[in-house]
Amino acid sequence: MAEKRCNYRHPKRLPVKFGVGIASVSGFTEDLSHFGLFIKTGAVYGPGQELVVELNLQQELLVRIVVKVRWAKKVPPALLRNYKGGMGFTIIRFLEGEEYYRDFCDELQQIRAERNNFGAKGLACHLE
């Protein structure tokens, strides 16, 4: 299957809460980028649904974002550890912590670039 996204997703596991209007369901990020993320969870919503996602980058750095479900895959809870079940999202807008989130993604990109001997520009896709 061809890659549809333009930006690189950085593997990172962070605890998150999400839900419609109120972030009340728990999950974990599997990967994230400046424009989207994937949350591993057994509680999935259908494509097109807008949700609020809350994640803590550090103890005091709360990020709250409105996202749109792009795709969802429901996996039984017993198999969730071994299979990729959850939802892929596009970020619609930030409610809180946009600067923290963008800086965090930049740091992850820099770490990956250094580890793989890429220039920081080598991992980014430029939208023009």
> Who contacts 84 (Cβ-Cβ below 8 Å, separation ≥6)?
30, 40, 73, 75
> Alpha-carbon dihedral of residues 63, 55, 62, 54, nearest 10 degrees?
70
pTM confidence score: 0.81
Output the pLDDT for position 82. 78
pLDDT, position 8:
72
Average model confidence (pLDDT) for the chain?
Answer: 85
Share of the chain above pLDDT 70, in %: 86
The tally of CA atoms less than 13 A away on the side-chain side of residue 108 is: 19
pLDDT at 1 over 70: no
Report the CATH fold assignment for 10-123. Thrombin, subunit H (2.40.10)
**What are the extents of the domains in the chain?**
10-123
Tens-place pLDDT, residues 79-123: 777 778 899 999 999 999 999 999 999 998 888 788 877 554 544
Quickly state the pLDDT bin for 5 (edges 50, 70, 90).
Answer: very low
Per-residue pLDDT, 23:
93
Cα–Cα distance between 18 and 76 in angstroms, integer?
A: 19
Place of tokens 């429901």: 74
